[in-house]
């Protein structure tokens, strides 16, 4: 799984608060894609305008190429605009951090139910 902290989050210089949270999800490996020259290229409203589509694609090309070298099954990003751009240019499944946390929570609850149905209690014993 690749995590892309969007430009606006990086520019606020508050760090990457979600990296440790994502690393704590069991069964996941995480590649953080970050750097001053990695931008999705959407550039706010400009990426939605037909006149700027090619410029937007060119600006985002280095990031798209980096993600392709990582070859993740999934991309997680906090920015819904970046998500639009990733969905347009990459074959990966793209989701928001909250969606991933929900999936993880549901999987955990399902695992608990399955163990309970097999006779295991909350302490893991029979």
pLDDT digits (tens, 9 = 90+) for 8-24: 887 888 778 888 889 88
Residues in CB range of 45: below 8 A, 6 or more apart: none
pLDDT value at position 122? 58
Report whether pLDDT(27) > 70. yes
pLDDT digits (tens, 9 = 90+) for 33-75: 988 889 999 877 777 888 988 999 999 999 999 999 999 999 9
Please classify residue 40 by burial: count the beta carbons closer than 10 Å to its beta carbon, then call 0-12 exposed, 13-18 middle and 19+ buried: buried
Mean pLDDT for the stretch of residues 78-89: 92
| Cα radius of gyration rounded to whole Å, the chain | 18
The answer to whether the beta carbons of residues 43 and 16 sit under 8 Å apart is no
pTM of the model as a whole = 0.82
Residues in CB range of 119: below 8 A, 6 or more apart: 126
């Amino acid at each position: 799984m690749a995590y892309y902290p969007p430009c606006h989050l990086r520019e606020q210089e508050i760090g990457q608060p979600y990296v440790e949270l994502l690393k704590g999800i069991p069964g996941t490996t995480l590649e953080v894609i970050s750097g001053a020259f990695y931008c999705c290229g959407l550039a706010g409203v400009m990426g939605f305008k037909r006149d700027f589509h090619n410029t937007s694609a060119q600006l985002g090309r280095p990031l798209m190429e980096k993600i392709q070298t990582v070859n993740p099954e999934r991309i997680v990003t906090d920015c819904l605009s970046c998500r639009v751009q990733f969905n347009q240019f990459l074959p990966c499944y793209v989701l928001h951090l909250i969606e991933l946390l929900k999936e993880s929570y549901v999987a955990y609850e399902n695992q608990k139910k399955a163990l309970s149905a097999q006779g295991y209690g909350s302490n893991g014993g029979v």
